[in-house]
Structure 1
Amino acid sequence: MLRRWGRKARVAHGPAGSPLPEERPPGDRLPGRGRRLRFRVDYPRPGRRGVLRWVPSWRQVLAVALSGSAVVAALVGYVYSTVRVADVNADARAEANVYYWADGTQMVSVGPVNRQNVPLSDIPPSLQNAVIATENATFYSDPGFSVRGLARAVVNMARGQEVQSGSTITQQYVKNTYLTPEQTLDRKLRELCLSVKLSRSLSKQEILQGYLNTSWFGRNAYGVQAAAVAYYGMDAKDLDPSRSALLAALLKGGELYDPSLSPAHHRRAVERWGYVLDRQVELGYMSKGERAKYTAFPEPRPESVSTSMSGQIGYLVDVADKYIKNRTGLTTEQLGRGGYRIRTTFDEREVERLRTTVEEVRQTSLDPARRIADRDVEIGAASVRPGDGAVLALYGGPDATEHFTNNADTAGVPVGSAFTPFVLAAALEHGAGPAADAPSALRRALVRGDSRLYSRLGEAVGLEKVRDLAVGSGLLPLSMAPLEPSFSVGTSTPSAIRMAGAYATFAAGGRRTDPYSVTAVSHLGTPVEGLERPAARRVMDERVAREVSEALRDVAVDVMAPDAIRALPPVTAGRTGAEDRVPASWFVGYTGRLSTAVTVFRSRPGTGGLLPLNGVGGSESDRAADFLPLRVWSSYMTGTPASRGTD
């Protein structure tokens, strides 16, 4: 390929046969005579004919190979020196906020990425072994990359195909965490260099932990914790070797091996599951005897909506988030960054029971297709544990993704004569009203719903004192109406949650415990402070609370059907009455176990306020809607079907 001009250069002859001076380019010098060498590309090869002119010599092949190797080495060296491990893909680190029911089971995962990072100590060895056996058997001994896989990538590149290879766990972790997903030579070189650097800076355990927390398993689950919940409804630490084998199989592609998607998917999943177990035996991670235990395929549960905010879930999350922000100072932006584990007080069975009850009442009592008055009817409800304040259940509306206002936590619905127990309590606390027969006279007025008497009583006691006692019992100051004569008969607008909590103060003998919906929050494993359980404190004399409870018990006997009374322990309840002129209907009552508030109103966007309840339910009575919250309350508290009714 390279030809040298030197002493033995060919001599040209003139026409007479005498040699002519050797022709050289000016300035060329021979060795030893002060002359320089000149090289030139000698290809196609001279002195050969036909195809042989185009066949390179071994020297030419070697020269090209060495030159190419030098270029590749220089390129790799450059990429290695410039790539930085700190160039982390933030999306791969993102975590969801995970909310848990009171019993510790997962309620919902909220965030752009359904991921919950867990330490390697919370990932069972059976799952670690299954993944290593099938994904990268030489994981603990390789340098972070596969030579065979790299060679395959080079061949694919030469063929013009995608730059893919059999990656190691380290390389897959790099792809999950540090790189964008496209397949290019530059990205492959960066992957290789980052893999080597990670292998030198992180332990194998740290790499394995990162890989298992960032990999996709299908069902919108990133990482083993999210996958364990999505497929088996349990934490990753509780997986057995059989379930672990299926999760390891899903690393080949959740869209290919999720057994619930189709019979073909199921067949592939069973085959891959069996291979994962057999591979562990082959590599010594599992004995044949243990392998023999796992013959039945571990069917996962159907795909759930664990990442959905539909139904009541969105309302529950809304209440929990508000409580967290009020108690801890966390902002909406901080919560939105993800990574929080939130343990709530919500009881899944109670939430479902309340939802079912409300929907049954709507179906049996309302007919919006035929009656205009039955349209735009809204129902809100909340249930609190007396003496504790834990919010166990709420109903915020038909669907949080379609009806955005949380009816259980809205502060825009007048409470009506359900407010009068606070007037009674203030009168008893401060000794106002008729002296000797105050309890009995006021009790009868409460049963009759005599709003005029309670309006006068509030004026006699002092509206400030009534307001202070209501706020002391648990209603929020911002929900209090102006101190006008109508204040005592319920122009204030507390939420259903706060009404249930305030009535629970009577149930607890005058000791108030603020409603709470969250028991613990942690962020990336660190507990968040400020969520200690609210302390109980006395806000009224125990005798006063007992007198109010007895009066409310008379109300319950008066308005509830005998069968409902017999089905419950001693009941105390208040409600809006026939004399109320507020566009809402309430029923609030408690037993020793639950304090529950239910409100019914009509609302339509753009109307500028609440609509009248006249004619709701089909009755000619102006206050037929009063029976709707009673039906919901009694059916929920007794567990009897709403269709049986209570009126």
Structure 2
Amino acid sequence: MGRAEARQARTRGARRAARRGRPSGGKRTGIRRFFTWKKILGTFFGFCLLGMLGFVILYLVVDIPEGNAAAKKQSNVYRYSNGKVIARTGDVNREIVDLDKVPEDVQKTFVAAENKSFYKDEGIDFKGTARGVLNTLTGKGKQGGSTITQQYVKNYYLSQDQTVSRKLKELVVSLKVDRETSKDDILAGYINTSYYGRGAYGIQAAAQAYYGIDAKKLNVRQGAYLAALLQAPSQYDWAAATPTGKKLVKQRWNYVLDNMVEEGWLDSGKRSGMTFPTPENPKAPPGREGQIGYLVEEAKREVLRNSGLSEAEFEAGGYTVTLNIDPKKQKQLEKAVDAKLNDKLDRKKNKADARVQAGAASVDPKTGKVLAMYGGEDYVKHYTNNATRRDYQSASTFKPLILAAALENGSTTQDGKPITASTVYDGTSERPVKGGDVAFAPPNEDDVSYGPVTVQKAMNKSVNSVFAQMGVDVGMPKVLETAGKLGMDVKGVPAVPAQTLGSMGASPLEMAGVYATLDNHGKKVTPALVASVEHKDRTVDLPDPIGDEVIKRGTADSITSVLTGVVDDGTGRAVRNASQDIAGKTGTSDDNKSAWFTGYTPKLVTSVGLFGEGEKGNQVSMRGAGGFKRVNGSGFPSEIWAAYTFDAMGAPSEFDLDTSMGAAIAPPVEPTTGEPKEPTNEPTKPDDDPTKKPTTKPTEPTQTPTTPTAPPTTPTPTTKPPTQDPDPSSSAGLPDDPDDSLLDRD
């Protein structure tokens, strides 16, 4: 090769080297000197070797610890706001049973639910554990799969802490336990240490809690339900589960049984004929009699809902839960319900009386504290908390929210007039609603027609036709949006005109929160039963019950002003007091299945609901209870409200309202042109004016009948059953209700 050719070769090599980013001598430059495929692979395998070496060292160092789960179980203490102990819970409800005391097919339900490879694996699920470690490191929560062995190790040897070190220790201990312990002993330990809800630890306690039998008598259907429970004991408890929870636990139950068929542990023919084994209703543990059980169970639910604690963590014990309940006001509320309702009913002899269930909640509107709560006659006798149940219609207590939506959105009538307390509507009964997409023509109570009527009077008299039209004028989506802002659960509720009559379900606690938000000038009040949760090893934070402004003060204060008119000159007159400002609304639902009074002073908001409940827990009418044709909101609920409020409120107070409408100012002049006179033969009902206006402490409000414009023409009924009809539950002696189909009667 000549010199020229050599030079050309060197030049070409330099160019190629330059393109590769390194000198022509072949040496790498820049960052490529440090990262090559060989170096990357070498580093990776080096880390793998280090990890394996570390795991070997960890395996040699970590021993199986002594079982400590039982030793760490403690009581949870519940206290009133003054520190007095309400109840102690948390004594471990568990009875260890040998595996041979559990039917073999029931044993297999737990394996099918949690770990189908249990009998073949070596105690750990590397993939699931790696996922759990990664989730912990990245802050994604308590996710990740575990084998039955790992769950048993966590329950019995370790703790519920979600840390990387605990997960690694779980891994090592699980390997050693699997090598040193039989599969049967591991399975027995697992089903005996797991938490099933209802305070039951272990399968024996769970069998008693859900089916009232010993574990040895469980069948495979029942076993599959208990196995399904372990995924979410509180959510899947059939007695307390939401419709979604019931759907999920049924899916889980089917999943367990299908896995058993797949593994050859259950005959497919038997499987196809299996029906869901509905558990028994819970039985109250000792010491939960009266109102204590309602307070303790609702406080626990609130802690779990707001604290981020799992049920197993909370039930492990060591927590002091202080409630906002004022023991003095709690006694006053119980006394009022007894004096104004329970003492006047004969539940043993009168079928109608036996159907009546009462619930009430009292809230401080400035702090959101639940000061008193009445859940039912006795937690031991009636497990469902009537103060928090949401399965009965809210009836006319919903009407103020329609007006609130109108004011908040600056809504107008069909002819373009702004909606205010003085706006005139057509109050004719069964008048077709204009402007709606759905035909709707609701009757008024007892089919009374009012003709042209102001919104104020329509609220006072609870005129259905007016608020049905107003709902369409505002737009039902806006009505429900406002209701949601105020605190009602409107998820999945259809935005149809029928909602204006209060067909949506609500609880006394929920309605107390809604009206407390109005009382608090539009700042959101979420009733808080629990004041604090303390534990020696951790801090538990709870949300502030007072939130931001959700509706304008002018809107909230205007509604309060209008609702004083309901008390001064409407269906709420049974609670009038000469020295105390009061706002409120009555409500009576379809076929008299519920009756309400939700009212407030500047310092106290209380909602009282009565619910008709049959022997099987179904909704039934309360007609005939107490000897009355029907139980209206201005009857027993108002009487309970007045007796409690005037005993508990302290010194009289006045509303501080920023509004230019409603009953707080001179009432608007009622239109006269074309307004028909109202009938004077209105049927006897307990929802009209009392004969006397209560003074500082009212006498017992009577259920005296009147007509809208005339004095009574029929005798005033007493609160005792009439002598001619000792059983008001029968049809004898009771005139037919002219409008049993109405969604609202107040």
Length-normalised TM-score, structure 1: 0.53
Deviation of 1:534 after TM superposition, in Å, equals: 3.1
Instruction: Specify the alignment match of 1:533 in structure 2.
Output: 544
Q: Counterparts of 2:350 and 2:633 in 1: how far apart (Å)?
A: 13
| Structure 1 pair 108–590 and aligned structure 2 pair: CA distance change class (3 A) | same
Deviation of 1:100 after TM superposition, in Å, equals: 1.4
Instruction: Specify the alignment match of 1:644 in structure 2.
Output: 700
| Structure 1 pair 533–561 and aligned structure 2 pair: CA distance change class (3 A) | closer
Q: Counterparts of 1:564 and 1:492 in 2: how far apart (Å)?
A: 26
Instruction: Specify the alignment match of 1:513 in structure 2.
Output: 525
2:393·2:502 contact (CA, 8 Å) conserved in 1? Answer: yes
1:376·1:604 contact (CA, 8 Å) conserved in 2? Answer: yes
Deviation of 1:484 after TM superposition, in Å, equals: 2.1
Q: Are residues 1:452 and 2:465 paired?
A: yes
Instruction: Specify the alignment match of 1:428 in structure 2.
Output: 407
Aligned length: 370
Q: Are residues 1:550 and 2:561 paired?
A: yes
Q: Counterparts of 2:570 and 2:336 in 1: how far apart (Å)?
A: 19
Instruction: Specify the alignment match of 1:599 in structure 2.
Output: 609
| Structure 1 pair 487–560 and aligned structure 2 pair: CA distance change class (3 A) | closer
Q: Are residues 1:498 and 2:510 paired?
A: yes
Write the mapping of 1:104-143 to structure 2, written as runs, cut at 5 A.
104-112=83-91
SS at match of 1:644: coil
Q: Are residues 1:632 and 2:640 paired?
A: yes
Instruction: Specify the alignment match of 2:627 in structure 1.
Output: 618
Instruction: Specify the alignment match of 1:475 in structure 2.
Output: 488
Q: Deviations over 1:433-453 (max 9, x none)?
A: 443573122111011110121
Deviation of 1:638 after TM superposition, in Å, equals: 1.0
Q: Counterparts of 2:534 and 2:604 in 1: how far apart (Å)?
A: 29
Q: Are residues 1:356 and 2:366 paired?
A: no
CA RMSD of aligned residues (A): 3.0
Write the mapping of 1:195-214 to structure 2, written as runs, cut at 5 A.
none
Deviation of 1:568 after TM superposition, in Å, equals: 5.6
Q: Deviations over 1:175-218 (max 9, x none)?
A: xxxxxxxxxxxxxxxxxxxxxxxxxxxxxxxxxxxxxxxxxxxx
Instruction: Specify the alignment match of 1:70 in structure 2.
Output: none
1:416·1:491 contact (CA, 8 Å) conserved in 2? Answer: yes
Q: Counterparts of 1:453 and 1:560 in 2: how far apart (Å)?
A: 16
Q: Counterparts of 2:632 and 2:543 in 1: how far apart (Å)?
A: 43
Instruction: Specify the alignment match of 1:590 in structure 2.
Output: 600
2:487·2:514 contact (CA, 8 Å) conserved in 1? Answer: yes
SS at match of 1:457: helix
Instruction: Specify the alignment match of 2:306 in structure 1.
Output: 327
| Amino acid in the other structure paired with 2:410 | G
Q: Counterparts of 2:594 and 2:360 in 1: how far apart (Å)?
A: 13
SS at match of 2:87: strand
Select which of 474, 491, 505 maps to 1:461: 474
Deviation of 1:431 after TM superposition, in Å, equals: 2.1
2:523·2:546 contact (CA, 8 Å) conserved in 1? Answer: no
Instruction: Specify the alignment match of 2:387 in structure 1.
Output: 408
Select which of 569, 574, 595 maps to 2:580: 569
| Amino acid in the other structure paired with 1:376 | R
1:632·1:642 contact (CA, 8 Å) conserved in 2? Answer: no
Select which of 362, 378, 383 maps to 2:362: 383
Deviation of 1:378 after TM superposition, in Å, equals: 0.2
Deviation of 1:646 after TM superposition, in Å, equals: 4.4
1:361·1:643 contact (CA, 8 Å) conserved in 2? Answer: no
Instruction: Specify the alignment match of 1:438 in structure 2.
Output: 420
| Structure 1 pair 601–642 and aligned structure 2 pair: CA distance change class (3 A) | farther
Deviation of 1:536 after TM superposition, in Å, equals: 2.1
Q: Counterparts of 1:368 and 1:642 in 2: how far apart (Å)?
A: 27
Q: Counterparts of 1:85 and 1:643 in 2: how far apart (Å)?
A: 71
Select which of 359, 368, 374 maps to 2:353: 374
Write the mapping of 1:337-356 to structure 2, written as runs, cut at 5 A.
337-356=316-335
2:402·2:471 contact (CA, 8 Å) conserved in 1? Answer: yes
Deviation of 1:560 after TM superposition, in Å, equals: 7.4
Deviation of 1:569 after TM superposition, in Å, equals: 2.1
Q: Deviations over 1:349-382 (max 9, x none)?
A: 1111111111122244323345332222100000
Q: Counterparts of 2:572 and 2:548 in 1: how far apart (Å)?
A: 35
1:97·1:111 contact (CA, 8 Å) conserved in 2? Answer: yes
2:533·2:540 contact (CA, 8 Å) conserved in 1? Answer: yes
2:596·2:607 contact (CA, 8 Å) conserved in 1? Answer: yes
Structure whose residues are more often helix by fraction: 1
2:461·2:570 contact (CA, 8 Å) conserved in 1? Answer: no
Length-normalised TM-score, structure 2: 0.46
Instruction: Specify the alignment match of 1:207 in structure 2.
Output: none
Deviation of 1:400 after TM superposition, in Å, equals: 1.4
SS at match of 1:639: helix
Identity rate, percent: 30
Select which of 479, 496, 499 maps to 1:484: 496
Write the mapping of 1:72-471 to structure 2, written as runs, cut at 5 A.
87=66, 90-112=69-91, 308-434=287-413, 435=417, 438-440=420-422, 441-471=454-484
Q: Counterparts of 1:465 and 1:473 in 2: how far apart (Å)?
A: 12
| Structure 1 pair 326–108 and aligned structure 2 pair: CA distance change class (3 A) | same
1:381·1:396 contact (CA, 8 Å) conserved in 2? Answer: yes
| Amino acid in the other structure paired with 1:458 | G
